[in-house]
Amino acid sequence: MSERFNFKDAKTTGSGDFEPLPDGVYPAKITGAELTTAQSSGNPMIKLTLQISSGEYAKRLVWDNLVWTQAAFWKIKNIAEATNIPSNQAADAGIEEVADELLNMNVDILLESKTNSNGKLQNVVKKYLPQEQTAPVVSNKAKFMQ
């Protein structure tokens, strides 16, 4: 006989709603680089999953999209340079090769908070930076906004 549960009194936890991380620079590892298509444009894109690798927010996840278009290539160039992939190599490679190269790479990410279309505050990756061995978990972002 299977055990029965009373869901009426069960507390709801683990809803997946997380407070955004404070604005700043965080060390992260690219743990996912999924090839997909942008819903808004139909263009190919890489959906990145980044895991904060140390500090108070270690193991928290952040997501970003790299849309494979000329107009958005600045972001692909930025992450390529931050992970020591020559940007001309990224420009000449296909989207599959870039996704494969990025997987498991370490990078610092500059996060900012932004209100999304649903009115919720969320993190946005503003910039990718080469990971420094002594990088603080959160630092003054002003020096990176050039």
pLDDT at residue 17 is higher than 60: no
Mean pLDDT for the stretch of residues 84-105: 84
Tell me: the pLDDT tens digits for 33-90? Answer: 999 999 989 999 999 999 999 999 999 999 999 999 999 989 999 999 999 887 666 6
**Residue 4 domain-assigned (yes or no):** no
Residue 121: band (very low, low, confident or very high) from pLDDT cuts 50, 70, 90: very high
- Bigger pLDDT: 17 or 53? 53
Indicate which CATH number applies to the domain containing 110.
2.40.50
- pTM (two decimals): 0.77
Average pLDDT along the chain? 83
Domain that holds residue 124: 20-136
**Residue 1 domain-assigned (yes or no):** no
**Residue 2 domain-assigned (yes or no):** no
46-52 contacts: CB < 8 A, separation 24 or more? 46/95, 46/98, 46/99, 46/102, 48/102, 50/107, 50/109, 50/125, 52/21, 52/26, 52/27, 52/28
**Residue 93 domain-assigned (yes or no):** yes
User: How many domains does the chain fold into?
Assistant: 1
